[in-house]
Amino acid sequence: MAIKTRFTELFGVEHPIAQGGMQWVGKAELVSAVANAGALGFLTALTQPTPEALSKEIARTREMTDKPFGVNLTILPAMTPPPYAEYRAAIIESGIKIVETAGYKPQEHVDHFKANGVKVIHKCTAVRHALSAERMGVDAISIDGFECAGHPGEDDIPGLILIAAAADKVKIPMLASGGIADARGLVAALALGADGVNMGTRFCVTQEAPIPMAFKEQMVANDERQTDLIFRTLHNTARVMRNAVSQEVVQIERAGGAKFEDVAHLVAGTRGRDALAQGDTDGGIWSAGMVQGLIHDIPTVKDLVDRMVAEAEDLIRGRLARMLG
């Protein structure tokens, strides 16, 4: 049996599983493997230094799969923002038909994509944001619980509550994100009212993820306690893998009155990128979720997806069905 949902039907994929955009990770190697496994993968637009480089990465992905995949475009407030309009044009001109948006005030991006026949999934961290995105005309939303890697928002609502609360109000298809790594999370998300799941950290810990093995092994070794919440006092909370750098940031914030300038040298993107390139897990900040505690191996993407779907079917047909007597 295959698990069919509104998500699989709308986006033309086999399984109700997505690999969301991840800075430095959402590249052709991973995204094509996710697509070939029957799930929906997203290239990360801003991982590519220019819109032209993104066009080349889309073409490179197409050489590795003939199945649907999308591109993530994350909109962040910045003193000098990236050329978003040029990235949008690269996505549209490359014939991409699915985009994951995230971040700040996506209306102009949503309008441009929709006018060009692109389906949009907007990633958000609160029910009110999901309803706002629905009013904007997005095709689906991804709701991110407090457990997630990256930015969980400021409401601190865990997935068990947030997914169900969103399902009560949101009418369009919905992915559950944050804290999901296996069949149990998939079945739970479907039971809570989601149409599929979006995984980040779990897809980082696969053979095809384009990051050093040292990071993958560290995430396998870590348990669910090995994350830190940084930027709490700056009201821009981010969940990252606990290491020497994240602990230093937390200590500076705990001392009180911290400004971004006080931690900028520790959290700089270039520092994190260099640490990643060198396989130095203590060299910079790295996004990772509490779900590390549920990750015990480094499979291929296909093995991960196949296993999740098969075990989810067994759970639904077996353990849960038996409870009905």
Across residues 102-130, what is the average pLDDT? Answer: 95
Question: Does residue 8 carry a pLDDT above 80?
Answer: yes
Kindly indicate the confidence band of residue 105, based on its pLDDT and cuts at 50, 70 and 90.
confident
Secondary structure class of 310 (helix, strand, coil): helix
Q: Which domains does the chain have, with CATH numbers?
A: 6-211 (3.20.20.70), 227-287 (no CATH)
Which residues is 42 bridged to in the sheet?
70
Please tell me the predicted confidence (pLDDT) of residue 273.
92
Please tell me the predicted confidence (pLDDT) of residue 33.
98
What percent of the chain clears pLDDT 70, i.e. is strictly above it?
100
- pLDDT tens for 256-310 read 889 999 999 999 989 999 999 999 999 999 999 999 999 999 999 999 999 999 9
Question: Does residue 185 carry a pLDDT above 70?
Answer: yes
Measured between alpha carbons, how far is 182 from 176 in angstroms, rounded to an integer?
13
Q: Report the amino acid identity of residue 28.
A: A
Across residues 128-152, what is the average pLDDT? Answer: 97
Please tell me the predicted confidence (pLDDT) of residue 78.
79
- pLDDT tens for 301-316 read 999 999 999 999 999 9
Question: Does residue 1 carry a pLDDT above 70?
Answer: no
H helices present in the chain, as ranges: 6-11, 28-36, 51-64, 84-93, 107-115, 127-136, 159-169, 183-192, 201-204, 213-221, 244-254, 260-267, 269-278, 301-314, 321-322
